[in-house]
Amino acid sequence: MSDAGTGLAGFRRYTWWAVPGTNVGVLILFTAEWVLDSDVPLQPRVFCAAALVVEVAAVLVLLDVRLRGTPARLPAGWPVAGVLAAIVLGVCPLALRNYGLWPVGPAIMMAVIATYLDRRARRRLVLTATAVAALPGGAVSLLAGDGQLVYAALFPVGVTAFTSWAVLGPLWAWDVAGRLEEARRLSAELAVKDERLRFAADLHDIQGHHLQVIAVKSELAARLAEADATRAAAEMEEVRRLATDALRDTREVVRGYRRTSLNEEITNATRVLASAGIDARTTVEPGAISESARHLLGLVMREAATNLLRHSRARTTSIEYRVADGVARLQVSNDGAFEPAADTGTGLSALAERLDAAGGVLEWTRDGERFELTACLPAGKETR
């Protein structure tokens, strides 16, 4: 799953540091201290040092792949290498009766592998690993008779359970956030498709009747052409009139579709942004304004809403519209501008030229993550 262009970029950075970073840090902190301990025999320290390098690499690779997509496939080789390294990191300390260290490596690798499984298999693996974690330490403690049976059996259980929660919890939240982002994108697309379907339905209703009648009368005129030329001419005149009516009605449908109304655009933008998970707060103080000015400001509102959906990670947006001192002013701001500044493309530039020709102005500014678009037009001046 690519998070470019969405609100997940910051969350992914946090998840990266919270999951791979934390687990690698724990592995290195606890295992390296034991590896560098001169009281520990040299051979197990060498084995554990090599195994530590392999498991750290495996954890980083596997979690990076997991964060890139859901569902994700286990990359070949790394799971096997990680599991073998985890076994070495568990067996060497356990052979020397270090009951606190031996479960760390195996627990982390088990949790990482579990992130690739479906919910049922994941639960089964975690529960089984947590239960089995009591056996190795408990068995070694019983055979050694060192009196640490409770610690040797229960501490690895706690380590395994806690590690599973620490790894799987944030990744579960990551998956939920990804699904919500996908739902937001689909909601915005559905809003556009609904508008297209509405236009198609209107066009069908207008054209369907006219074309059906034209077809019938044309067929009748063709039959009458030789038998009754006068009546055939009358029918063709009726066909001409119907074609003119159909053309006029079609133009009215297209004009109504292309001609925007500021109030309707604000209402539609609020609805679409809300469905996309953006809190749209509106302040509208209407006043007398020409139809052409209302149309231009409606185009600005439509472009602003489109840019919000496509080119921002906004959580809230503010829409303010006022008419005062003969000037209509529309301001749209949001808290999700990209770094670097969002590309305005040609849409806003073209609108700025149209507003300038109409005696108005269109400006946009960016301050940190805040993006603000302001359009001003003479309220009563007719524009084309």
CATH number of 250's domain: 1.20.5.1930
Q: Are residues 166 and 199 in the same domain?
A: no
Q: Are residues 175 and 164 in the same domain?
A: yes
- Matching residue, tokens 């950075």: 13
Structure tokens, 34: 């034991």
Q: Are residues 46 and 146 in the same domain?
A: yes
Run of H or E residues at 47: helix 42-68
Tell me, what amino acid is at 378?
A: P
Task: Using CB atoms within 10 Å of the CB of residue 351, give its burial: 0 to 12 exposed, 13 to 18 middle, 19+ buried.
Answer: buried
Angle between helices 104-114 and 119-132 (to 10 degrees): 170
Q: Give me the domain span that covers residue 349.
A: 262-378
Residue by residue, pLDDT tens for the chain (384 residues) are 444 444 566 676 777 778 888 888 889 998 988 999 888 899 999 999 999 999 999 998 888 888 876 455 667 788 999 999 999 999 999 999 999 999 999 999 999 999 888 889 989 999 999 999 999 999 999 998 888 999 999 999 999 999 999 888 888 888 787 777 777 777 777 777 776 776 676 666 566 656 766 777 788 788 888 888 888 888 788 788 878 877 877 776 666 554 556 887 888 778 777 766 678 888 888 788 888 888 788 888 888 887 777 777 788 899 999 998 889 999 999 887 765 444 445 578 888 888 888 889 999 988 878 889 999 999 875 444
Strands of the sheet with 327-334, listed across from one edge? 279-285, 316-324, 327-334, 370-378, 361-367
Plot region of 361 (φ>0 → left; ψ -120 to 50 → alpha; else → beta): beta
Q: Counting every residue, how long is the chain? A: 384
Choosing from 148, 182, 216, the residue where a domain stops is 182
Choosing from 141, 159, 182, the residue where a domain stops is 182
- How wide is the angle at C-alpha 84 spanned by C-alphas 80 and 89, nearest 5°? 145
pTM: 0.51
The verdict on residue 2 lying in a domain is no
Number of domains, the chain? 3
Q: Are residues 355 and 214 in the same domain?
A: no
